[in-house]
Structure 1
Amino acid sequence: MSSRRKFIKQSGLASLGLLAAGSQSGQAAVRKIKAGKITKPLAISTWKNGMQANVAGWEVLKNGGRALDAVEQGVMVVEADPNDMSVGYGGRPDRDGIVTLDACIMDETGNAGSVCALENIKHPISVARRVMEKTPHVMLAGAGALQFAKEEGFAEEILLTEKARKEWQEWRKTSDYKPVINIENHDTIGMLALDQKGDISGACTTSGLAYKMHGRVGDSPIIGAGMYCDNEIGGAVATGMGELVMKTLGSFLVVELMNQGLSPQKAVEEAIARIVKKIPGYQDFQIGYLAINKAGEVGAYSLHKGFNYALYANDNNQLIDSDYYLK
C-alpha cells in the first residue's frame, strides 16, 4: 500500500508539470494568506457572495459551534438573497421559466444529504440536511424532495422574482443558450468550515445553469463532484460548469490527492489539470476549486481568470483572487 501511495503521489506531482508555469502566483497568494498563522476556526466560500456567507458562518464558529452548523447558516444567507441570481430565491429559471434548486451537505462523520431539482423551497440546503439526518438516503429528487420538505414543515414559496422573470422573457426572444465564463448565470455558493475542534464540514447550493433544460442537474448536489469532505484529510468544493466537474469527480479527486500527500493548492491544480487533459473544449468553460486540510491550509485554482473566494480566519474576512491556468 505504501508503494502504491508513493506512486500515486509522484504521478500527481508529475502531471502538475503542465501547470507549472502558471501556478506560482497562486502559491504566492496562498503563502500570503498564511503569512500570519491560520488557526482554527476558519471558513472559506466561493465567489464574492461568500463574504456574507462567511460572516454568518463565523458567528457559529467563533462561539465554538459545529462546522456543519456554520456552513448551513452561511449558505442560507445567499439562498435568501434575491439579488444573487445563481442561488436560491431569485435564481434564474430553466428554459421553461421554472426555478429548480440543488444542494448538498456533509458533516464530520461522513454523513451526507442532498436534494436536486427541488421547486418552491427557499432553503434547499436545510432540506438536504434533513435528508442526511432523518432518512436512510443521501439524495432526494424533484417531486419526492418537495414532498419530503413539506412533510418536514418547509413552506412552499414562489422563487421566481420579477427581475428573474423579465430576464427569462427577454432570453426567450432568441432562446440562445450560451453559458458565459464568469457571468453568474451558472455558479454556486460552496462553503467549507474548520471548527475549533478541528472538524470539517461542507455545503453547496445553487439554482444551476440559467435556462437549462428542465430536469437538468449539475454537480452541486452530487457528493464527490460539487463538494466532498473527509474529516481525516480535508474538504473541497467546486463551482462553474458542473458537467466538467461531474466527468472528473473533482471534489473527491481533490480530497483524495490530499490523502496521497499533496497540499490543498497542489491538489486543486491537479484537479484542473485532469480537466485540461481529458475534456475537449475545456477552454470554453470556467471551473474553480477550493480546498482546505486539517492543518488549516487552503488551496484555490481555476481554469480562467475571474474566480475569487472569501476566507474568514484569524478574525479577518477577505476576498481573494484565485490563480488560474489559462493565462
Structure 2
Amino acid sequence: MGCMQCEIEQCDGTVGYGGMPDETGETTLDAMIMDGPTHDVGAVGGLRRVKQAISVARAVMTHTTHTMLVGDAATRRVGDSPITGAGAYVEQGVGGAVSTGDGDIMMRFVPSFHAVMLMSSGMKPGAAVKTAVNKITEKYPHFFGALLAVDMNGNIGAACNGMEQFPYTYRTSKDSEVKSVMINCSLSIG
C-alpha cells in the first residue's frame, strides 16, 4: 500500500502519473516489488497511460512466471541479459562475469555483480561463481543457468545448475587459439 499511496499522492512530483517526462517528452512509469522470503519479483518498465504501475508490477509477480515486462501495457518480455549486474558486470582492476540461463530467476540475484564483488574482496573466480550460484539455489534449487567469471590475471571460473554439463570457450591475450572447456554441473556447486 505504501508504494501505491506515493503514486496516488504523486510524491514530490516525480513519482506516478503526471510526473517528470522522459527524453521523448512522455511520462512513462516503472515499478518493482519483491518478496524477501521467496525472492519473487514483479517489475514493469516504460508503461504509458497507467496510473498505478506498482499494481501492474504486483500482477506480474502474482499472475505470471516473468520477473519484468516492459512497454505499453507491459506486454513485452525482458530477460537478465540487458540488466546490469544480472547478465554481465565488469569492475576495472577486478575482472568481469557473465551469466546465461533462466533470466527471470537469475536477475533477482544479480549473479554477475555478486561474483565480481566477491572477487573484489579477494575470492578466486571459481569460488566466486560457485558462491553466487549457490545463493540462487538456496531459493530455486532447480533453476537452469550458468555463471562465468574472469579476474584481471586471466583466471577463469565457471559454475552451473540445472543441466548435466556446461560448455564454454575462451581465449586470453597469451593464447593463440580458442580453448574449449566442459564443466560438470553436479560438481560445480555445493
Q: Do the two structures share a fold, i.e. TM-score over 0.5?
A: yes
Q: In the alignment, does 2:147 pair up with 1:297? A: no
**Counterpart position of 1:287:** 145
Task: Measure how far apart 1:320 and its partner are.
Answer: 1.0
* Identical aligned residues as a percent: 34
Task: Measure how far apart 1:306 and its partner are.
Answer: 2.6
**Counterpart position of 2:179:** 318
**Counterpart position of 1:272:** 133
Query: In the TM superposition, what are the counterparts of 1:1-327 in structure 2 within 5 Å?
Result: 214-277=75-138, 279-280=139-140, 282-283=141-142, 285-303=143-161, 304-313=163-172, 314-325=175-186
Task: Measure how far apart 1:326 and its partner are.
Answer: 6.9
**Counterpart position of 2:58:** none
Gaps of 5+ in 1: 1-139, 143-212
Counterpart CA distance in 2 for 1:141 and 1:301 is 34
Counterpart CA distance in 1 for 2:126 and 2:104 is 22
Counterpart CA distance in 2 for 1:273 and 1:223 is 20
Counterpart CA distance in 2 for 1:287 and 1:249 is 13
User: Residues 288 and 307 of structure 1 are in contact (CA less than 8 Å); yes or no, is this contact kept in structure 2?
Assistant: yes
Higher Rg of the two aligned structures: 2
Q: Deviations over 1:213-246 (max 9, x none)?
A: 9411010001111000001111000000002211
Counterpart CA distance in 1 for 2:166 and 2:151 is 20
Equivalent residue letter for 1:270: T
Task: Measure how far apart 1:265 and its partner are.
Answer: 0.5
Moved over 4 A (4+): none
Q: Deviations over 1:81-138 (max 9, x none)?
A: xxxxxxxxxxxxxxxxxxxxxxxxxxxxxxxxxxxxxxxxxxxxxxxxxxxxxxxxxx
> 1:254 and 1:239, CA in 2 relative to 1: closer, same or farther beyond 3 A?
same
Task: Measure how far apart 1:255 and its partner are.
Answer: 0.1
SS in 1 for 2:89: strand
Equivalent residue letter for 1:309: Y
**Counterpart position of 2:39:** none
SS in 2 for 1:300: strand
Greater RCO (CA < 8 Å, at least 6 residues apart): 1
Counterpart CA distance in 2 for 1:323 and 1:310 is 15
**TM-score normalised according to structure 2 size:** 0.56
SS in 2 for 1:316: coil
> 1:316 and 1:249, CA in 2 relative to 1: closer, same or farther beyond 3 A?
same
Equivalent residue letter for 1:310: T
Equivalent residue letter for 2:98: V
Counterpart CA distance in 1 for 2:125 and 2:112 is 11
User: Residues 300 and 323 of structure 1 are in contact (CA less than 8 Å); yes or no, is this contact kept in structure 2?
Assistant: no
Equivalent residue letter for 2:147: Y
Counterpart CA distance in 2 for 1:318 and 1:261 is 26
SS in 2 for 1:220: coil
SS in 1 for 2:84: coil
Task: Measure how far apart 1:260 and its partner are.
Answer: 1.1
**Counterpart position of 1:6:** none
Q: Deviations over 1:50-73 (max 9, x none)?
A: xxxxxxxxxxxxxxxxxxxxxxxx
Counterpart CA distance in 2 for 1:274 and 1:325 is 16
CA RMSD of aligned residues (A): 2.5
User: Residues 305 and 326 of structure 1 are in contact (CA less than 8 Å); yes or no, is this contact kept in structure 2?
Assistant: no
